Amino acid sequence: MRADARKRREHIITTTCELYRTHHHDSLTMDNIAEAAGVGIATLYRNFPDRFALDMACAHYLFTVVISWQEQAINTFPTNPARVWTSFNQTLFDKGLGSLVPALAPESLDELPEDISALRQTTEDNIATLIGLAKEQGLVHANITPGTYILGLITISRPPITALATISTNSHAPLLGLYLSGLKHGAMATSIGKHDEHP
């Protein structure tokens, strides 16, 4: 692939990721994406024959970026655990993980192409490593699993509901601090036994 064609393809992918971060996936058409990327619809389809191909290209790009962040965090963790842990989570939070993951996830993980599935496994392995390092430093409670951590981060990094944004300016940002603090204390049991019930 020529350098200019490769650059155009990469621009389409990064533009699409930004659109998915700020708009609901199903609200966007291929025409919307082509217009935002500044390319003709024929050029878009020449690079990505259908929406699934474009989504998987975005997923490949994002997994690769996240893996690079993970590896950097793992390698620098011993230098300043608290700072590295906070910075890593802040980066994922700021990049809109809560919007991008649902937008790019297929109905079943079995539908992921082999190369994307391998990247996903690498991110999971890296997260397990990071969670282990954070537990050793008292930054994450022993009962927090990698799955719980990921689901929690995805949930809090979703864009705030527009109507609620009027309650407080920048009301979404403090959620990360609350979440990281909660990780230190662990998951609290929510079921109430008979001996705990009130009449």
Domain spans of the chain, in order of start: 1-49, 52-187
What are 77-123's pLDDT values in tens digits?
999 999 999 999 999 988 887 777 766 776 677 778 899 989 989 99
Contact 138, 184 (CB under 8 A): yes
Name which of 89-93, 145-149, 160-164, 185-189 the model is least confident about: 160-164
> What six digits make up the tokens of 134?
């954070």
Residue 194 pLDDT = 47
DSSP class of residue 167 equals T
Torsions phi, psi for 50 (to 5 deg) = -155, 175
pLDDT of residue 95: 84
Multiple choice CATH, 52-187, 3.40.1280.10, 1.10.357.10, 3.40.710.10, 3.60.150.10: 1.10.357.10
What's residue 103's pLDDT?
A: 64
Q: To 5 degrees, how large is the angle CA 84–CA 85–CA 91?
A: 85
**Hey, which CATH number is domain 1-49, 1.10.3470, 1.10.10, 3.30.70, 1.20.81?**
1.10.10
Whole-prediction pTM: 0.83
Rounded CA separation 51/41 (Å):
12
Q: How many residues does the chain have?
A: 199
- Counting residues of the chain whose pLDDT is more than 70, the rounded percentage is 83
